Amino acid sequence: MVCLGNICRSPLAEGLLQHKVDKLGLDVKVDSAGTASYHTGEHPDSRMIKTTANHGIDISSQMAQQFDSEHFNEFDRIYAMDKSNMQDILDLANSDNDRNKVELLLNASHPGQDRSVPDPWYGGEQGFEDVYHLVDAACEKISNSLNDE
């Protein structure tokens, strides 16, 4: 799961997908990163931690890292939160195999629509709640498709 800062959207996506695969008993490695390094080593934004905790999921111990090309070797699927993140990820790809791993997260729940997860960082509390529900729906589809594999 990849966003810009790795302190709002992608930590939420990591926490939600991890929670869902755990519930299904699937052995899947889930992680998140940011395309930028501004927040490397920080825990998620306190507003995102609070919103996620209100839904029973604890993301407080996650720590931000920057996405790098090694992640293409570690993961089978790489989900970008928005089109700008997706382009930055693709710029680090070394092969068609790498490029084929990258998809916009919301295409899992809204196929073919190329929607972006809005960045809640600059806005109010409601933005975090809205993003929670968008990301939850996408992670539900992903965990169900992993369960069918």
Q: Which of 17, 21, 119, 132 binds ligand 4NP (CB under 6 A)?
A: 119
146 in Cβ contact with 23 (< 8 Å) = no
7 binds ligand 4NP (CB under 6 A): yes
Structure-token pair, residue 10: 């992608």
Whole-number Å distance between alpha carbons of 105 and 118: 12
Handedness of CA 33, 38, 41, 47 (dihedral sign): negative
Structure-token pair, residue 21: 């695969």
Least distance to ligand 4NP from the beta carbon of 45, Å?
7
Taking CB under 6 A as the rule, which mask of x and - marks residues 16-55 in contact with ligand 4NP? ------------------x---x-----------------
Is 139 among the residues known to form the active site? no
Structure-token pair, residue 103: 């998809």
Question: Between 7 and 108, whose beta carbon lies closer to ligand 4NP?
Answer: 7
- List the catalytic residues: 3, 9, 119
